[in-house]
Amino acid sequence: MKITPIIGLEVHVELKTKSKMFCSCDAQHFHIEPNTHTCPVCLGLPGALPVPNKTACEWCVKLGLALNCTPNKISFFERKNYFYPDLPKGYQITQLEKPFVVNGFLEIDGQKIRINRAHMEEDTGKSVHTTENGVDITLIDYNRSSVPLVEIVSEPDITSAEMAKKYLLKIQQIVRYLGISDADIEKGSMRCEPTINLKIEDNEQTFYTPLVEVKNVASLTGVQTAIDFEINRQTEEFEKNHEVKSSLNKTTRGWDADKNQTFLQREKEGSSDYRYFPEPDIPHIVFTDEQIEEIRKTIPELPDEKFARYKSYDLSDYDAHLLSKEPFFAGIFDFILRSSTDPSFAKFVANLMLGSLKTIQIDIEKIIPDNFKKLFDNKNNLSSTAIKQLIVDSYQTGKDPLIIAKEQGLMQVSDTSAIESFAKEVIDQNPKAVEDYKKNPASIGFLIGQLMKASHGSANPQMAKEILEKLLK
């Protein structure tokens, strides 16, 4: 029996615009006093008219372009009708027939994951479940109502929970690079609803298990765990009954993070159940070729492009990945590289950023690129340990690292005659070590250590080794 998971993802990303999608209310809602960022429009009061947020619409197109989508030059909004306590109007303004962008893709481990669309809609309010005087109650906070929300809908090209997680991380990374959202899953500014069913090939017959959409998954790990749970649950159900209901029979299941399992909520609605129709209060939105190109110009160098460029500096895959992972960290790296075009300088800076600087909270305003260049130019006069400490000290104090090195006696002696003098002294004082070297040249480490001790650590170790070898021969 061959089992192939068929997984699609609906990813919702809250845009961090100043105002909401269809009104001028402040879009900030996290840890804000409930129901203070509201107005007649986002509360759905009769007679209130929506006005689209231009920035949100442009950012949706921008994200679509970054996801290799094709923009629709003419788009419009629609009403999606359903009742829920946190949806005050009784409908959500969204897009179905003509979303802003369509037909994109992302590559994950060399496999293309197709993206059906990225469309613009408004977020709903938030239900808060609590207990008052021993009674379970639900309170509604409408601060989130009508916050701009982009929904990215993949095709069912994902075949494992691990691939789903990588896809989500890539979406999150791109969104952060574009600067249009924090995409913080724990804060709810990025949310995901996986859809899962199985293709089962058994005894030359092919079965498809019913489609399941999982709701209320609040973390990347949760998404991965929920998908794995559903794969196992659907497999066990098939093995138990050796039959499946129609694959058209769709259900919605909730995710219980405490029990790490899904539970049945309801039969899944189809698009006809939502009675979509064009939003009569918002005219069609038109993007010209010129406007689309202007939006395209605002897209920065994206993670995959940055990774490839870092690789051209002869960095390892691992280092290039770590440096390009977060836009803030990559921005600091690129800022420092402005002080030199030497490829080996990039490797030098990468080692410092992924080493001693990785352990401290970096403020780009305090970064002085020239300090890295000074240490690079003097790397033969400083030990690697000293360089790692000097870059931290110079960052924290703002002082020239070379001045700090001189004050602390960290500059290495590279004068040949001075090191030769130390070497002769060490050879004279350690006849047994000299004899050991003649029998086994690898034992020269002891003599180098003695030379470094005699010079109080100031001698250049490589020069010390070379001079000792020359004298001993």
The model's pLDDT over 311-365, given as tens digits with 9 standing for 90+, comes to: 999 999 999 999 999 999 999 999 999 988 888 999 999 999 998 888 788 888 8
Place of tokens 């004068």: 415
Average pLDDT, the chain: 91
Indicate if the pLDDT at residue 91 is higher than 90. Answer: yes
Mean pLDDT to the nearest integer, 101-115: 96
Indicate if the pLDDT at residue 464 is higher than 70. Answer: yes
Reading the block at residue 125, the tokens are 């309010």
pTM here is 0.85
Note the pLDDT of residue 225.
94
Q: Are strands 251-256 and 212-215 parallel, antiparallel or unpaired?
A: parallel
Contacting residues for 204 by C-beta, under 8 A, at least 6 apart: none
Reading the block at residue 40, the tokens are 């007649």
**Distance of alpha carbon 6 from alpha carbon 164, whole angstroms:** 11
Nearest to 9 by CA among 176, 163, 236: 163
Q: Domains along the chain?
A: 2-289 (no CATH), 301-404 (no CATH), 416-472 (1.10.10.410)
- How many CB atoms neighbour CB 450 within 10 A? 20
Indicate if the pLDDT at residue 422 is higher than 90. Answer: no
